[in-house]
Amino acid sequence: MIRSISKRSRELGTENAFVVLGEVNDLVRKGRDIISFCIGQPDYETPSNIKLAGIKAIENGKHGYTPSSGILELRQAIADYILRTRNLHVDPDDVVVGAGAKPFIMYSVLATTDYGVGNEVIYPNPGFPIYESQIRTMGAVPIPINLHQDRNFSLDANELESKITDNTRLVIINSPHNPTGGSISHKDMDDLADVFRRHPQCWIFADEIYSQLCYDNKFSSLTKHDDLCDRIIISDGVSKTWAMTGWRLGFAANKMLASIFSKWVTNTESCASQISQWAAVEAFSGSQSVAISMKDSFLERRNLIVKLTNELPGVSCLTPGGAFYTWPDVTEACKMVGAVDSEDFRRRLLNDVGVAVLADIHFGERVLESEQHIRFSYAASVDNIKNGIDRIDQFIRNNKR
C-alpha cells in the first residue's frame, strides 16, 4: 500500500519565527551567546493579578470544559473591553473565545469560503505568514496586497479596490501590523471603509491583536464605521497586551458568525482552557496599571532601537506606530557586506555575531526585489537592544567591501 500525505498538508505553511528560534536554540546549546530579536512576544511575565486569577480558578475547581464559545463572564468582559476601546456595543453572545486569536484566522477562512471553487481572500504582504498558509490550505485563493515603505506600510484603498473581484469573499486587515509595526491611519481607514461599501460581498477580518500597543496616534479600527460592523470580524486577545502568549486565549466577535465559530471550536479545541478564561476576565476587566507600564517601556525601546538602527551604516528605519516590531531597510547594508539578500544578511548576522532577526521573505514574497528588509522584535531588554545593534554595527564595518 502506498501511503500519501494530503495536498492540503503539503501546502501548509509555517511561521519562520519558530524555525529561526530552532536555529537559535541549536547555537545556544553549542554554547554561543545569542541576542534574539526574532520572537513576537513580550519579554515580561504576566501581571500578578492575572496569574492569581488563574491560580484561584485552579484552586476553586474551575478547570473543566466550558461552553465552546467561552464562559459568559469572559464574553461580557470582552464586550465591555470592545466598548471601552472601540466605542462599539457588542452583545456577549456575539463573542467567541478560543485558544488564542490565531485559530480565528482559520475559522474565518472556513466560515466565508468554500474549498477549491476559486473563492479569493485578500491579505497584507508582508504579513503574518499564517494568513497565506491558512487561505491556501483551506482551498481558497490567496491574493496578496502589497504594503509600501513610502506609504508607511499602511493599506492603500485604491490598491485594495483593484484586487477585489466578484470572487472576493474575505479581506484581512491588520493594524498595528506584524511585521512592519505600521498602522492604518484614521484617514486611510475611512478610505478603506468607502471601498468596502462598494463591495458588499466582502467579509472583513480585522486582526487587532496589537490594538492596545499604539504609540503616537489613537488606535484606529474599521469598526468606527457602524454600517460595516455586521461584516467585520473583530479579532483580538490577551497575548500581547497582557504578556500572556502561552495562556492561549483570544477571541473573535461578529453577530452572524459567532454561532459558526462556536461550532468550529466544538469541532477542534472544544473550548479554550477554563483556567486561562478566568485569568483573561481579570486581564480585560482588572487593573490595567502593569499593561500600561509594559506599553510605556515598549515605547521607550521603540525610540531607542529606531535611533540606534538609523545610525547603522547602510540601514534606514521608519518609526513604526505600533506593535513591537521594526522593519528597517537594509538594502545598502547588504551591498556593503556582499550579502546577496536580506536572508543571507540575516544568516550571517546570526552565525557571525550572534544576533537573531527575521528576514522579509519570512513574511511573504518580497514587495520589491530592490528593497531588502529585516524584522526586529524589540520586546527585548534595553541592554540587549544596545548590545545587539552594536554587534550589527561591528559586523557591517568589519565586512565592508
Ligand X SMILES: Cc1ncc(COP(=O)(O)O)c(C=O)c1O
40 counts as binding ligand X under rule CB under 6 A? yes
The type of residue at 291 is A
Determine, following the binding rule CB under 6 A, whether residue 47 of this chain makes contact with ligand X. Answer: no
**71-79, 99-107, 134-142, 377-385 -> range binding ligand X (CB under 6 A):** 99-107
290 contacts 297 by C-beta, under 8 angstroms: no
Q: Is 362 in the site for ligand X (CB under 6 A)?
A: no
Binding mask 121-150 for ligand X (x = CB under 6 A): -------x----------------------
How many C-beta neighbours within 10 Å does residue 314 have? 15
CA-nearest of 316, 373, 318 to 341 is 373
Closest approach of Cβ 102 to ligand X, in Å?
A: 3
Closest separation in Å from C-beta 103 to ligand X: 7
210 touches 323 (CB < 8 A): yes
The three three-digit cell numbers of residue 21, written as one number: 528560534
Q: From the CB of 225, what's the least distance to ligand X, in Å?
A: 21
Query: In whole angstroms, what is the distance from residue 362 CA to residue 39 CA?
Result: 12
Per-residue CA distances from 220 to 77, 198, 227 (Å): 21, 21, 16
- Smallest gap from residue 133 Cβ to ligand X (A): 12
Nearer to ligand X, 245 or 387 (CB): 245
Strands 325-326 and 250-253: unpaired
Site stretch for ligand X (CB under 6 A), options 62-70, 237-245, 255-263, 360-368: 237-245
Site for ligand X in 62-81 (CB under 6 A): none
Residue 100 near ligand X by CB under 6 A: yes
* Least spacing, CB of residue 24 vs ligand X, in Å: 17
Which residues pair with residue 207 across a beta bridge? 174, 235
The size of the chain, in residues, is 401
- Name which of 315 and 356 has its Cβ closer to ligand X: 356
Q: Which of the ranges 100-108, 158-166, 219-227, 299-307 carries the binding residues for ligand X, by CB under 6 A?
A: 100-108
Close Cβ partners of 293 (under 8 Å, ≥ 6 residues apart): none
CB 325 within 8 A of CB 179: yes
Residue 204 lies near ligand X (rule: CB under 6 A): no
Closest CA to 327 of 210, 177, 188: 177
239-298 positions binding ligand X, by CB under 6 A: 239, 245, 250
Q: Is 175 in the site for ligand X (CB under 6 A)?
A: no
CB 170 within 8 A of CB 203: yes
Provide the grid cell at 247: 495562556
Part in contact with ligand X (CB under 6 A); list of ranges 96-104, 270-278, 290-298, 373-381: 96-104
> Which residues are near ligand X by CB under 6 A?
40, 100-102, 128, 174, 178, 207, 209, 237, 239, 245, 250
